[in-house]
């Protein structure tokens, strides 16, 4: 059975999730085996797809939920939290 981890964060990228940060998130997410989602107001985006992330279009300061399911889900959530929160 796969492990699931999630974390609520506030997007710390002031300009919002545009092309450059979306590509960085995809690069990071693709380093993990887990399925990784970013959720905004019930809308789910695949963190391994820049197009999916861009459709989410969150502005800086938006509350998001990161969810990962798989063998390295905890590590994936930690790494992506750092990127998204801008820390």
Write out pLDDT tens, residues 16-72.
888 888 999 999 999 999 999 999 999 999 999 999 998 988 888 999 999 999 999
Q: What is the pTM of this model?
A: 0.91
| pLDDT attached to residue 5 | 96
Determine whether 5 is an active site residue: no
* Alpha carbon distance 53, 58 (integer Å): 9
Catalytic choice (6, 8, 10, 18): 18
- Domains along the sequence of the chain with CATH: 4-85 (3.30.1340.10)
How would residue 87 be classed by pLDDT, with cut points 50, 70 and 90?
low
Q: Report residue 55 as tokens.
A: 């459709």
| pLDDT attached to residue 57 | 86
| pLDDT attached to residue 15 | 85
Q: Are 35 and 10 in contact (CB under 8 A)?
A: no
């Amino acid at each position: 059975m796969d492990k699931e981890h999630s974390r609520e964060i506030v997007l710390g990228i002031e300009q919002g999730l545009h092309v450059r940060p979306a590509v960085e998130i995809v690069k990071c997410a693709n380093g993990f085996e887990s399925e990784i989602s970013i959720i905004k107001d019930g809308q789910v985006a695949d963190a391994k797809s820049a197009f999916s992330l861009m459709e989410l279009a969150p502005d800086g300061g938006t509350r998001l939920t990161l969810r990962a399911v798989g063998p390295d889900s905890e590590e994936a959530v930690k790494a992506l939290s750092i990127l998204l929160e801008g820390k």
